[in-house]
Structure 1
Amino acid sequence: MVERLSAGRGLRPRARGRCLGLLVLVFSLAGCGKSREEKRPAPIVAPPLGDAGGHPRGLFQVTSACALPYRMTIDAPTTWRLPFTNMRPGDRVQLAFWGHWSPATLRSAWFGRFVGGGEVEGAVQLTFDGARRVELADGVPVLCDPFDYPMRRGERYAVSFSAVGSVPEGLDFEGDGLSAPGDLAREPVLEGSPDWRGHGVKWVAVEGEAQRVLAVLGDSIGAGQSAQRAEQRFIEVAQMRLGHPVVDASVGGDGIERALNRLERDVFELPGVTDCLVQLGTNDLHREDPGFLIDGLSDAFGRLRAAGIRPWAATIMPKPGHLTEAGEQTRREVNVFLRSTRLIDGYADFDLAIRDPADPANARPGMLADGIHPTSAGHAEL
């Protein structure tokens, strides 16, 4: 968990603090139908935020995150430059770096505004309890000292760091990231090779006024697989439309049980998350057991609610060519549950957005890349 400390102290691991947002969370859907099954609940207005904990400058909330389920081992120092789009205005920043199942050494880390073409400006060096170098233990987040930096909504920033050892990474998307051999994190222009995976950085948080922050707990669909570019993933499209952070807490291949096992690490420990969209179930349809999925999803919704996070659901999209008749019936029964349950604050009807109205077991042309994962056009619909 994370919590705010006294003024100017930033965050620390393993304590829980939550807030509720002011904004109305509205999911944009394509082709909403008129039947009772397809009708969405009205948007729900969150309760007022109330006291921000006495912090004179606001509170830290996450603006970018990655579950980092994979790893690579680096024998020689390597530098990464990782751009991201910020959707949280504020004036102070803190980052969490994460080691995987074996240790790594973070040799140097910098933060600045991303200009493009591997270039940053206004970069500042990060410290860790005053030190510029830190060891990353296996599975333990390491927080940098909070630092002043003006953060504007919709602008691009970049984390640059060099490391050696076991460095965690995320999915591969075409984007603006770079890597290069050597300790080059401080260089204004990094001349390296395209590197489109997230590496090492668990989350970036910004201190400012309290706002809505949505995490997506999902599988490879939530992680954005088959989107051509990182900014075409539905989480990126959604945050630009909604105007607040929508952050990645998804791992490819996850079913409900595996996602529940990492709920603490990948959602509860993100600072200031107010809402969570649960996008799970497609990898459990082979069980052909609606009760298993409904029980697991209900558990997820309840645990989120108990942690002070508003739960939302995504209906399960068609999976043409991958399901038996019993598997398809399971998908439909679970979707009926998700559209009617009072355990959640609302749902995003991914099924309705993607499916073929004339054949609900199939997707509309151009929506799925492989019968499972949305194309970039499909992500835009979600």
Structure 2
Amino acid sequence: MGHWVTTWTAMPQLTEPDNLPPAPYTQEDLVLADSTVRQTLRVSVGGQRFRLRLSNAFGGAPLPVTRATVALPSGGKAGVSAIRPETVRPVTFFGRPSAVVPVGAQVVSDPLDLAPAAGTVLTVTLYLADGQASTGITSHPGSRTTSYLARGNQADAADLTGATPVEHWYFLSGLEVWAEADTATLALVGDSLTDGRGSTTDQNNRWPDQLFDRLQADRRTAGVALANQAAGGNRVLNDGLGPNVLARLDRDVLAQSGVKWLILFEGVNDLGTAEATQEAQKRVADDLIAAYDQIIVRAHAQDILVYGATITPFGGSFYDDAQGCREAARQTVNDWIRTSGAFDAVIDFDRALRDPADPRRMLPAFDVGDHLHLNPTGYKALADAVPARLLH
């Protein structure tokens, strides 16, 4: 017996003006008219066939997809515009070559009889003849992966003519594979530290990517798929870049196929954007703890195990304050994560990163330079800190 398993995700967000497709792909209230969007993604576990999810969650108008194709990229690499022509497959929706995604909705494609192996990079190409009649569009700005825009219908082209590179994903929200019954998904809810700020564009070296590589090397965890539902600037309690975690939990975790585990690694932006006073920081720490408990309760109702990750050091960053109010709140929240027993297990990312000589700060070798975000070496430290036994 098999089942559908989510093997790749990009958290849908409302596209900010600076992240809209550049001119001429955005003209007044019309986006991507007579335009092709070619994007690459890396699946985690493979399966016998797969299907795509396209999202219009934040669209200001219906999203008309005229044609969609999938293919293998030239050289098997992420972030390239060329494909292997012999691998092109048309994507259909209820047997139709096109689809209109209503405002606020998503569409799931028909299954494609293509069996991507674990770690395969796929190219997804969308052509929008009429474009979307709104600058309110759905994307994932922090793709850390190069996509390409081109004029005209080039959905089947071996390479794009006159392409414009952009480092965003548009409209793609998920990919599912039909996999063996013992295959399951680990959902990751986080902010820029999980979205991969500081990682290398087109190299897939965010900590979830490096965790996947590690899990694939062990037959006991080779059936673990990853769904990275993180976004830079995201918060648990209030909307920031993307909806808050309490609002998006159903969409991004509970409604995903095959989720068995959840790692919750978020809260630093809640602390960092609250006023740096003892009263304000006590309030946000208390509210974060209550929110974590709500997330656990809601996930447990769906038989999902929830692992809590401690908030990592940010001493010396733009979130640091001279009075140490935010650091005190971080310690309060981390103490609760470690000792409350509310989580099914604790993943101590704080301990994995902190400098023993100055525990308020991360080790310099992990620091991308702003004392908050990580370089690929730091992301490897996070990946290595996840006990594989939690995913057996």
TM, length-normalised to structure 1: 0.80
Structure 1 position 345, deviation (Å): 2.3
- Tell me the residue number matched to 1:152: 117
Deviates more, 1:180-189 or 1:358-367: 180-189
CA distance in 2, matches of 1:130, 1:206: 19
Structure 2 counterpart of 1:93, one-letter code: F
- Tell me the residue number matched to 2:138: 168
- Tell me the residue number matched to 1:104: 63
Q: Does 1:221 align with 2:216?
A: no
Q: Which runs of 5+ in 2 are unaligned?
A: 21-25, 217-223, 238-243, 275-279, 383-392
Query: SS at 2:49's partner residue?
Result: strand
User: Per-residue displacement from partner, 1:75-111 (whole Å, max 9, x unpaired)?
Assistant: 5222222222222221111111011231221111111
Query: SS at 1:380's partner residue?
Result: helix
- Tell me the residue number matched to 2:343: 344
Instruction: Determine which structure has the larger strand proportion and give its number.
Output: 1
Conserved in 1, the CA contact under 8 Å of 2:146 and 2:201?
Answer: no
Conserved in 2, the CA contact under 8 Å of 1:67 and 1:202?
Answer: yes
Structure 2 vs 1, CA of residues 115 and 341 (structure 1 numbering), >3 Å: closer, same or farther? farther
- Aligned match of 1:273 in 256, 259, 262? 259
Q: Does 1:115 align with 2:74?
A: yes
Deviates more, 1:249-258 or 1:197-206: 249-258
Structure 2 counterpart of 1:131, one-letter code: R
Q: Does 1:262 align with 2:248?
A: yes
- Tell me the residue number matched to 2:211: 238
CA distance in 1, matches of 2:73, 2:247: 35
CA distance in 2, matches of 1:140, 1:253: 24
How many residues were matched structurally? 326
- Aligned match of 1:313 in 290, 308, 316? 308
Instruction: Determine which structure has the larger helix proportion and give its number.
Output: 2
CA distance in 1, matches of 2:46, 2:205: 22
Conserved in 2, the CA contact under 8 Å of 1:171 and 1:225?
Answer: no
Structure 1 position 158, deviation (Å): 1.6
CA distance in 1, matches of 2:82, 2:32: 26
Conserved in 2, the CA contact under 8 Å of 1:107 and 1:183?
Answer: no
Query: SS at 2:113's partner residue?
Result: strand
CA distance in 1, matches of 2:198, 2:353: 15
- Runs of at least 4 residues of structure 1 off by over 4 A? none
Structure 1 counterpart of 2:281, one-letter code: E
Deviates more, 1:258-267 or 1:83-92: 83-92
Conserved in 1, the CA contact under 8 Å of 2:337 and 2:346?
Answer: yes
- Tell me the residue number matched to 1:354: 353
- Tell me the residue number matched to 2:385: none
Q: Counterparts of 1:244-255 in structure 2 under 5 Å?
A: 244-255=224-235
Structure 2 vs 1, CA of residues 380 and 197 (structure 1 numbering), >3 Å: closer, same or farther? same
Q: Does 1:212 align with 2:191?
A: no
Structure 1 position 119, deviation (Å): 2.7
- Tell me the residue number matched to 2:220: none
CA distance in 1, matches of 2:258, 2:352: 29
Structure 1 counterpart of 2:171, one-letter code: G
Q: Identity of counterpart residues, as a percentage?
A: 26
Query: SS at 1:119's partner residue?
Result: coil
CA distance in 1, matches of 2:37, 2:227: 20
Structure 2 counterpart of 1:306, one-letter code: A
Structure 1 position 154, deviation (Å): 2.2
Deviates more, 1:275-284 or 1:172-181: 172-181
CA distance in 1, matches of 2:89, 2:176: 16
- Aligned match of 2:98 in 106, 117, 133? 133
Q: Which runs of 5+ in 1 are unaligned?
A: 1-55
Q: Does 1:193 align with 2:193?
A: no
- Aligned match of 2:320 in 319, 323, 344? 323
User: Per-residue displacement from partner, 1:21-46 (whole Å, max 9, x unpaired)?
Assistant: xxxxxxxxxxxxxxxxxxxxxxxxxx
Structure 2 counterpart of 1:59, one-letter code: H
Q: Does 1:142 align with 2:101?
A: no
- Tell me the residue number matched to 2:5: 61
Query: SS at 1:213's partner residue?
Result: strand
CA distance in 1, matches of 2:145, 2:194: 17
User: Per-residue displacement from partner, 1:187-221 (whole Å, max 9, x unpaired)?
Assistant: 13234232321211110000010313111111222
Conserved in 1, the CA contact under 8 Å of 2:142 and 2:231?
Answer: no
Query: SS at 1:154's partner residue?
Result: coil
Conserved in 2, the CA contact under 8 Å of 1:171 and 1:223?
Answer: no
Structure 1 counterpart of 2:185, one-letter code: V
TM, length-normalised to structure 2: 0.78
Query: SS at 1:76's partner residue?
Result: coil
